Amino acid sequence: MRVTYEKVISEYNGNRKNTVGLNDLSIIALGKTLKLPVISSEKKLATAQDSERRQKIPDICDLEGVAHMSFNEFLRKEGIKN
């Protein structure tokens, strides 16, 4: 995955906005391997902003077939209330 997404990894492109870090990519790879959803507070980029050089965690999850949830969605799914 590191080679596939090299253009959108912040450590390789001067920490540009709307990119993912190596740690984020590792979490996505782990979710894919274990067939578990990835939980993050990020939202997909707007369609007009989609680019090979700008991707966020939910965008890469979609590309890799990994389920993505917001933290609130996760809490609701688990039946956790405050």
Q: Is 34 a member of any domain?
A: yes
Residue 37: which domain range?
6-78
Give the total number of structural domains in the chain: 1
Which pLDDT belongs to residue 17?
A: 79
1 within domain boundaries = no
Q: Under 8 Å CB-to-CB from 24, ≥6 apart: which residues?
A: 40, 57, 60
Mean pLDDT of the chain: 88
CA–chain centroid gap for 54, Å, is: 12
Quick: pLDDT tens for 18-53: 789 999 999 999 999 999 999 999 988 876 555 667
Q: Where are the alpha helices (DSSP H) in the chain?
A: 22-34, 57-64, 71-78
* Residue among 66, 61, 71 nearest 8 (CA): 61
**pLDDT in the model for residue 48:** 52
- Please check whether residue 22 is in contact with residue 2, taking contact to mean a CB–CB distance below 8 angstroms: yes
